[in-house]
Every structure is written in C-alpha cells, then in structure tokens.
Amino acid sequence: MGNRSVNIGQRMQSIAGARSWPRRTTAHVGEHDTQLASLHHCVADLWVALGQLQDHVHHLTSVVDNNHTWSQVQRGTAWAASAPLAATPVVSVILPTRDRSGLLVRAIESIQAQSYPHWDLVIINDGSTDNTGDTVARAIEADNRIRSVSTTGIGGAKARNAGLDIATGSIVTFLDDDNTMAPHWLRAVAEFMSRNGQCDAIYGAQLRLPVGSGAPNVLFAPTFDLEAFIVDNSVDLGMIAVRAHHPQLRFDPELRALQDWEMFTRIAATTAVTPVPALASCYSLSAPDRISDRHGGNAAVAAMRERLRATVAELQRG
C-alpha cells in the first residue's frame, strides 16, 4: 500500500510538470523571440553604420583624388606661366552670348587678363535684347583684339560656326559667357602646341565652382579615352584647344544642345587628343539659364551616345 502511494504521488507530480510545460515553453519562446528581434535590430544598425562608413570612405577617396589632381594641375599651370615660348601663334577665342551682359563682362575680362597677349576674341551676339550690344561695342573700342558678329537667335551651334568663320588664329579655343578663362591657359596652349607640331587637339583642366558653400571640384583626366568620353562627356568645351585647320572643327547646325560633345567626339575619332595638366577655365554651376541644363534629359543623352558610337565607327572605318 505504501509503495502504491509513492507511485501515485510521483505520477501526480509528473502530470503537474507536464501541465506546466507549455507555460515554460511559451516563456522560453517569448524570450527567444525578444532576443532574435534585438539581434535583428543590431544587424540593421550595423548595416546602416557600414553604409555610412562606406560613404565616408568614398568621400575621402574622392577628396584625396581631387587634391592629387589639383596638385598636378597647379604644377602644370605654374609651368605654363613661366615656360619660354617656342613661338607666338595667334589663338582665337570663340565666345557666343545672348542676354547675359553682366556675365559677359566677366568672361571678356578673363581673356584680357591672359598672360599670353597674342589672342583674337570673337564675340557672337546671338540676338540679345538687353544691353549686350553696348557691352560688346565698349569692349571692341577698348581692345582691338576683340571683334564681333551679330546673329538672330540661331542657337549655340550656328553661332559658334559664325565665329569660326571670321576667326584669324591658327589655334582655336572656346569660352561660354557664364564661365571665365584661367589666366595662363592661352600661354599653355601656345607653348604646348608650338612645341608639339603633330598635336592637333588638347584639353586642360576645369575648376567647377559649386552652388553655395561647397568645395570646388577639379575636372581633369590625365589620359584620354574616347569610349569613356562618350559615356561621361567629361571634357567641357571651355577646356579644349584645336588647330584651326582641323576638318572636324565645325558644329552640327541641326543640334540645339550637346553640340560640343558631338563635335569633340568627331575630333577625337580622327586625331590624337592630348591632356595638358594646366587650368583652362572656371565653370560656375550656379550660373542662370545654362544651356547644358536644358539638353532634353536622360533620353536625349542616351540617344546622343548611340549617335556618337555610330559616328566614331563610320569615321574610323572610312
């Protein structure tokens, strides 16, 4: 009888333990879920931190690359300022403008401030309705190296072609009215192209000035790759110099935008392009009504890339 009582007691304890098992299991599962959720939050926070670290590394890399490029450009610009000139060719500057008289004055002054005096400035007044005509007239009266041609709102491509028609220099450069030319650029152009007679096209560096208080960025590729240029259009018109006799030195008159990209691609497809690490121009991203901001969007850019690849294939085939 005593043994039966013990067995019954043990069974009752087992049953009671079995009945409490779901509660213990539920408690353990709840604790596990809490720990798992906490772990998920930690992992998510870690990914955010890693993303921020990656962005910071990319930023630092960009800053280091930019500083290295700027140091290279500064050395090249110092060379341009002091190098003995092998010859003194006339360098033409083609400058189209429309209704931006205040900006035009600054652009003209940057050319007059060149350390190289043998230049020919052609201003194309493309149908301005403000006081641009008076500004141009005063500039011509003050400096006989400045000439002008008036057009009737024909657009950038045709206006630049009109300037090319009357340019007298053996080398041609370009400037937009909302940019300024670096003070030793024309000297760098004359010196380099005089000493390298086989070189028909070069480009320099451009200092890009941001909107607001951000740091300037230096645009310069130490080597030129045509396919990369077709992808990123990384050589601005204000960075290039081309010999006046080059057969591709004309803008497509049918293009209302991206005409500089198209023209320089044709030049690069038919002649070697040489980078010169000297500052060519300063490009203000805050200038109002910039034509390059109105190129038709991503679809127009993609269509132009396809056109450029076809153009290159045709020129190199023929």
The CATH number given to whatever domain includes residue 232 is 3.90.550.10
183-193 pLDDT per residue, tens = 999 999 999 99
138: its two tokens: 């005063």
* CA 46 to chain CA centroid, nearest Å: 34
Q: Which residues contact 231 (CB under 8 A, 6 or more apart)?
A: 305
- The verdict on residue 200 lying in a domain is yes
Least confident window among 33-42, 96-105, 222-231, 255-264 = 33-42
98-111 pLDDT per residue, tens = 999 999 999 999 99
- The verdict on residue 56 lying in a domain is no
The CB density around residue 239, as the number of other CB atoms within 10 Å, is: 25
User: Which one-letter DSSP state was computed for residue 94?
Assistant: E
Report how many domains make up the chain: 1
- State which H helix or E strand residue 98 sits in: none
- The verdict on residue 97 lying in a domain is yes
Q: How confident is the model at residue 10 (pLDDT cuts 50, 70, 90)?
A: low
Q: How confident is the model at residue 26 (pLDDT cuts 50, 70, 90)?
A: low
Domain extent at residue 96: 72-317
Res. 233: pLDDT tops 50: yes
- The verdict on residue 122 lying in a domain is yes
Distance CA 201, CA 189 (A): 10
Q: Which is more confidently placed, 9 or 214?
A: 214
pTM for the complete prediction? Answer: 0.79
274: its two tokens: 């040489």
42-86 pLDDT per residue, tens = 666 656 665 655 554 444 444 445 788 989 999 999 999 998 899
- The verdict on residue 288 lying in a domain is yes
- The verdict on residue 23 lying in a domain is no
Q: Which is more confidently placed, 9 or 154?
A: 154
- The verdict on residue 154 lying in a domain is yes
- The verdict on residue 158 lying in a domain is yes
258-310 pLDDT per residue, tens = 999 999 999 999 999 999 999 999 998 776 554 444 556 899 999 999 999 99
> Which pLDDT belongs to residue 216?
85
